[in-house]
């Protein structure tokens, strides 16, 4: 008897491309069909066939408090009772803007949008409008959403599905995007020399998490800041994933960095569709209706996403969630590393705060090229082993895992037991 998930997937394939509304959900290369979710609470999810999993995807980042946190659900219910969307300024978007600017000092003005893609797309257009320049530097393996200008050597689903560049992006567009190896400051300097006064911005995930998770080496971020300032280009941090997750002020707080623009998303919506972008006031003033750079959105700043996001962020601050997540993350990392040592497993484990990644390569992972040395087949066996034992990790080697406030020590201990079994399959 086919499972309910497989019946739903068969129907989905009839009417939805690939059966999914986002490619990374399709379990590509994992020799499994995706399951369909029924409900979620805390650190756990249940599929439509009643199978329970400890969840380390967390809706790809938003579920930092765990699923269906009481404060968020209450805020949505209460706000929805007064109307769902107005297209008229509402008090909650003012509160959200004030909170973002207070928590992220580099952001003097901010505008809400409805996805991370919209946030990065708007940053690119704004940088081009502000500088009068057209070219963009990004880094191989960094993923910034499905923006034409940034689907060049992109990570996440583009990488998982083996198409780091996308069809449908005109060659003339792609030619304006220069993609370089992450951590290679000499390549950045050479690109600025070879494209003098034509580069509008450098955009990056300050801690890349869409080709698996790896880190800026040495003072790479500081040198990027210097090169952008020296060459009159804007520095854009894509903190859609790291923002409000790794620290109250995101990765830029951890590294003491000061980008010109920041893209945000995920956590600030409490699970509802959201994005935001902000930065120096003199740049943001270029946006319509004050300036010549047009950007707009029917549902931007909608009260439900604002209420959910504010409730989540304020709860994070109330409980000092970042400290709790660091404690849990360190505990998980220590036990995971001990397991890998004990099994002499050919793996590399990376973690920062509540974000982690297990690469199936013994080599150091510092950029996309080294991440791609991972043994995808071993990852697939590990993923299936964990799934069959009730642990759901991101369905791709080129993604990151997320802990939430809701993950208890007992969940982590159970997960580590499952990891140990799945690493020896
Ligand atoms: P969205 O448009 O999917 O809301 O955000 C795009 C985006 C931008 N920047 C970063 C750093 C991101 O990680 C993302 C989206 N992340 C992926 C997971 N790696 C979303 C999952 C999906 O594509 O279904």
In Å, how far from its chain's centre is CA 173? 24
**Band of residue 251 on the pLDDT scale cut at 50, 70, 90:** very high
Average pLDDT, the chain: 97
Rounded to 10°, the helix 185-194/220-231 angle is 10
pLDDT at 1: 86
Judged by DSSP in three states, 224 sits in helix
Ligand 1 centroid to Cα of residue 286, in Å, is 26
Residue 162 has pLDDT above 90, yes or no: no
Q: Are 375 and 359 in contact (CB under 8 A)?
A: no
Considering only residues 166 and 333, tell me which one the structure prediction assigns the higher pLDDT. 333
pLDDT digits (tens, 9 = 90+) for 78-93: 999 999 999 999 999 9
Strand-pairing partners, residue 47, are 37
Rounded to an integer, what distance in angstroms lies between the CA atom of residue 87 and that of residue 301? 9
Residues with a CB atom less than 6 Å from ligand 1: 22, 24, 60, 115-117, 120, 143-145, 156-157, 205, 210, 238, 240-241, 265, 399
- 163 C-alpha to ligand 1 centroid (Å): 16
Is 49's pLDDT higher than 80? yes
Farthest-apart Cα atoms in the chain, separation: 65
pLDDT at 161: 85
Q: What pLDDT is recorded for position 44?
A: 98
Residues in the chain: 425
- Say whether pLDDT at 14 is over 90: yes
- Which of 28, 60, 212 has most ligand 1 atoms within 8 Å of its beta carbon, as the pocket-test mutant? 60
Using CA atoms, how far apart are residues 173 and 135, in angstroms rounded to an integer? 9
Q: What is the pLDDT of residue 350?
A: 98
State the distance from the centre of ligand 1 to the C-alpha of 168, rounded, in angstroms: 19
The domains located in the chain, with CATH, are: 4-68+320-423 (3.90.1150.10), 70-317 (3.40.640.10)
pLDDT of 154 above 90: no
Q: pLDDT (tens digit, 9 = 90+) per residue, 190-249? A: 999 999 999 999 999 999 999 999 999 999 999 999 999 999 999 999 999 999 999 999
Of the candidate ranges 30-39, 120-129, 159-168, the one whose mean pLDDT is the lowest: 159-168
Nearest ligand 1 atom to the CA of 25 is 24
Percent of residues, the chain, with pLDDT higher than 90:
95
The protein residue whose alpha carbon is closest to atom 8 in ligand 1 is: 144
Q: Which residues pair with 262 in a beta bridge?
A: 237, 278
Which residues are designated catalytic? Answer: 143, 238, 266
Distance 136 CA to ligand 1 centre (A): 19
User: If you write DSSP's letter for every residue of 181-214 in order, what string do you get?
Assistant: -TT-HHHHHHHHHHTTTTEEEEEE-SS--SSS--
Q: How many other C-beta atoms can be found within 10 angstroms of the C-beta atom of residue 46?
A: 16
Work out which ligand 1 atom sits closest to the CA atom of 117: 2
Residue 399 has pLDDT above 80, yes or no: yes
């Amino acid at each position: 008897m086919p499972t309910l998930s497989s019946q739903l997937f068969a129907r989905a394939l009839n009417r939805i491309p690939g059966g999914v509304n986002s490619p990374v959900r399709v379990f590509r290369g994992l020799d499994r069909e995706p399951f369909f979710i029924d409900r979620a609470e805390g650190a756990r999810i249940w599929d439509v066939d009643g199978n329970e999993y400890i969840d380390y995807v967390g809706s790809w980042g938003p579920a930092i408090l765990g699923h269906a946190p009481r404060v968020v659900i209450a805020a949505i219910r209460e706000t929805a009772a007064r109307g769902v969307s107005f297209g008229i300024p509402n008090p909650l978007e003012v509160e959200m803007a004030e909170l973002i600017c207070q928590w992220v000092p580099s952001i003097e003005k901010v505008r809400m949008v409805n996805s991370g893609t919209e946030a990065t797309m708007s940053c690119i257009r704004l940088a081009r409008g502000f500088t009068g320049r057209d070219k963009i530097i990004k880094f191989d393996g960094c993923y910034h959403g499905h923006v034409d200008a940034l689907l060049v050597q992109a990570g996440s689903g583009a990488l998982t599905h083996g198409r780091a560049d996308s069809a449908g992006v005109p060659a003339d567009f792609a030619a304006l995007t220069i993609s370089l190896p992450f951590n290679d400051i000499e390549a950045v300097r050479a690109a600025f020399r070879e494209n003098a006064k034509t580069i509008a911005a450098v955009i990056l995930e300050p801690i890349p998490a869409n080709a698996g998770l790896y880190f800026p080496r040495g003072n790479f971020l500081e040198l990027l800041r210097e090169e952008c300032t020296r060459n009159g280009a804007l520095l854009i941090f894509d903190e859609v994933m790291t923002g409000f997750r790794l620290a109250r002020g995101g990765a830029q707080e951890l590294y003491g960095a000061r980008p010109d623009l920041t893209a945000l998303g995920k956590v600030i919506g409490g699970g509802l569709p959201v994005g935001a972008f902000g930065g120096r006031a003199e740049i943001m003033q270029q946006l319509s209706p004050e300036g010549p750079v047009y950007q707009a959105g029917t549902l931007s700043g909608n009260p439900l996403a604002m209420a959910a996001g504010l409730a989540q962020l304020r709860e994070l601050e109330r409980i000092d969630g970042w400290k709790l997540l660091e404690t849990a993350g360190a505990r998980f990392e220590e036990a995971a590393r001990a397991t890998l040592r004990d099994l002499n497993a050919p793996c590399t484990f990376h973690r920062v705060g509540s974000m982690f990644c297990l690469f199936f390569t013994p080599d150091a992972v510092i950029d996309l090229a080294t991440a791609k040395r991972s043994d995808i087949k071993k990852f697939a066996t590990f993923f299936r082993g964990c799934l069959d034992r009730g642990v759901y990790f991101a369905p791709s080697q080129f993604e990151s895992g997320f802990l939430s406030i809701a993950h208890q020590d007992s969940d982590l201990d159970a997960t580590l037991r499952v990891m140990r079994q799945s690493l020896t399959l």
